[in-house]
Structure 1
Amino acid sequence: MAAVIFDMDGVIVDTERYWKGVIEQVLDELVVDGDDLEPTDLIGINVHDQYELLREEGYELTVDSADEYFDFYDDHAEAVYSDHADLMAGFHDLLDDLDEYGVPLAVCTSSYPNWVELAFDRFDLHGRFDVVVSAADLDIPGKPEPDIYEVTMDRLGVTAAESVVVEDSENGIRAAARAGAHVIAYAADEAGEMDTSDADEVATSANDLRERLFAELDALDRRPSRS
């Protein structure tokens, strides 16, 4: 059995260009002397994990808690998901065709459940996935550690060798690769230069991603049965 696991932000919905702007504000307003940091250092990492990472690396912050740090992001979330972001071109058709293959589908995201709900409500994605995993619901290390992908595979009932992951950030690509999955980097990249060296292959558009997904599923012998 093969399975396809999608990251949400930057893959299913093109939010990264908007979150990049928010992260630039974070680095400017919440991090003291954070000039050596780039948005790509934080993209793909759960917001609470970002806070802990910055503290562990010795950065002084202008907020006193992870919850205050989260609130800065949450204040922008509704506009990002409900007003600005667009769904990947042809995404519902892609899901329909993956359903014909009988392939289990999952979302594995560093975003919060209420943010996932905003995106799913807007783009009619409820019921389209067998498993939806949010890092905020798990007491484990988030991306770039592999744990969240290992949990997702376990819930799908597949092994890493049976899993194809679509990711768009360096931290997400690294997490999926460390978990042992076949990783397609979706490099319709709005966050700047992205290191895709940990990915198995790179898709540069929605159509390219579609072709690569089905080629990999065919390689895993998941062609539809023919009568």
Structure 2
Amino acid sequence: MTIEAVVFDMDGVVVDSEDYWREETANILAEAVPDADVDPAEVVGINVYDQYELLQEAGHDLAVDREGYFDLYNRHASDLYTEKAALTDGFHDLLADVEARGLPVGLVTSSFPSWVEMVFERFELDPYFDVVVTAGGEDVPGKPEPDLYELAAQRLGVDPTAMLVVEDSEHGVAAASRAGAHVVGYSHGASADMDHSEADAVATSPAEFRERVLARLD
């Protein structure tokens, strides 16, 4: 299948933020579920509201309501995206390479629209992206379900099987794979110990990440 569009996850792919989020998530879970030891890896890559529902379904006694759980995340987002998280090395160059091949570019993320805006403004990314799909802005199931990627394909005007997707989390890889996309798993930092077996290829560094993407496009 010829690749007709390239789609990136945000946290851990566009920006190196997953290590920060994993630390913050551990603190958030300790506050939200004080009577249970919940591994942050269980919720990495999943929309905040879906996390809350998963914790409820698991029978945990939550100390905050649904909006309170979001607020715990949201109060950390500004500092993380405007100060701490760095753009993945060589990402602007990779976007230029994709643009030179005449392919549209999309973003599919479990983050919220306001968080994406912070990242796009700080790193001047808006001109490169044709479609942005956020779990917080769509009324469809989030990752690991395939719906967000299917929606991105629809808006990009391509079949899901014609998309190349880069994802770092286990849930994100599963979502893109289930949509039928060609998936490059980016295994590094907080995601290095996750299961990337559903990916078609795996990269472990920014240089290899770029190499894997361009090799599939060519």
Does the alignment reach a TM-score above 0.5?
yes
Q: Which amino acid aligns with 2:31?
A: E
Q: Which amino acid aligns with 1:82?
A: T
Alpha-carbon distance, 1:161 to partner: 1.9
Aligned to 1:98: 98
- Residue 65 of structure 2 corresponds to residue 49 of structure 1: no
Aligned to 1:154: 154
Are 1:196 and 1:202, in contact at CA under 8 Å, matched by a contact in 2?
yes
- Residue 4 of structure 2 corresponds to residue 2 of structure 1: yes
Aligned to 1:185: 185
Unaligned runs of 5+ in 2: none
Output aligned runs, 1:52-71, within 5 Å. Answer: 52-63=53-64, 65-71=65-71
TM-score, structure 2 length as denominator?
0.96
Q: Which amino acid aligns with 1:5?
A: V
Alpha-carbon distance, 1:189 to partner: 2.7
Q: Which amino acid aligns with 1:8?
A: M
Structure 2 Cα separation of the partners of residues 74 and 27 of structure 1: 14
Are 1:39 and 1:191, in contact at CA under 8 Å, matched by a contact in 2?
no
Residues 116-136 of structure 1, C-alpha deviation per residue, up to 9 Å, x if partnerless? Answer: 011111111112111011111
TM-score, structure 1 length as denominator?
0.92
Q: Partner of 1:183: helix, strand, or coil?
A: strand
Alpha-carbon distance, 1:198 to partner: 1.1
Structure 1 Cα separation of the partners of residues 8 and 138 of structure 2: 18
Alpha-carbon distance, 1:98 to partner: 0.6
Q: Partner of 1:190: helix, strand, or coil?
A: helix
Q: Partner of 2:189: helix, strand, or coil?
A: coil
Q: Which amino acid aligns with 2:45?
A: G
Structure 2 Cα separation of the partners of residues 169 and 110 of structure 1: 11
Unaligned runs of 5+ in 1: 219-227
Residues 78-106 of structure 1, C-alpha deviation per residue, up to 9 Å, x if partnerless? Answer: 11001100001111111111101011100
Structure 2 Cα separation of the partners of residues 216 and 9 of structure 1: 22
Aligned to 1:124: 124
Structure 2 Cα separation of the partners of residues 156 and 211 of structure 1: 23
Residues 60-82 of structure 1, C-alpha deviation per residue, up to 9 Å, x if partnerless? Answer: 1010x211100000010011001
Structure 1 Cα separation of the partners of residues 192 and 4 of structure 2: 32
Q: Partner of 2:108: helix, strand, or coil?
A: strand
Aligned to 1:23: 25
Distance 1:194 1:159, change over 3 A: same
Aligned length: 216
Identity of aligned residues (%): 52
Structure 2 Cα separation of the partners of residues 150 and 170 of structure 1: 18
Aligned to 2:16: 14
Structure 2 Cα separation of the partners of residues 62 and 217 of structure 1: 48
Larger radius of gyration: 1
Q: Partner of 2:86: helix, strand, or coil?
A: coil
Q: Which amino acid aligns with 1:213?
A: V
